[in-house]
Amino acid sequence: MAGSAHGHTPAAWTGVIIAFIGFCIAGVFMVAANPLGFWAGMGVVVAGGLVGLAMRAAGLGMPKAEKAAQERARAQAATAPAQPASAQTSA
């Protein structure tokens, strides 16, 4: 997975950071025996997921697999050297 870019997007980072803060809030209130604060922290966790999804929908996440493949093919075609005419007709 060395070439994978999974999760390296602003949408992923933002969603995970917000969810982590929510888990910290929930953990503090769980130790303090405060159910209302615990559920507020869990609400922040859910909000982190929703923010990540909204940012992904806004184009700040990973592109879809087909779209990424099309962009790679387009980039390869643009950088590939042109073949001579004799190579194209000898099929």
Q: For 23-77, what is each residue's pLDDT tens digit?
A: 999 999 999 999 999 999 999 999 999 999 999 888 888 877 766 676 777 777 7
51 within a domain of the structure (yes/no): yes
Domain range for 25 is: 9-60
**3-class SS string, 20-80:** HHHHHHHHHHHHCCCHHHHHHHHHHHHHHHHHHHHHHHHHHCCCCHHHHHHHHHHHHHHHC
**Model confidence at 88, in pLDDT bands (50, 70, 90)?**
low
Q: Is residue 23 part of a domain?
A: yes
Within a domain: residue 85?
Answer: no
Q: What is the pLDDT of residue 91?
A: 52
Residue 75 resides in a domain: no
C-alpha 81 chain-centroid distance:
33
How many domains does the chain divide into?
1
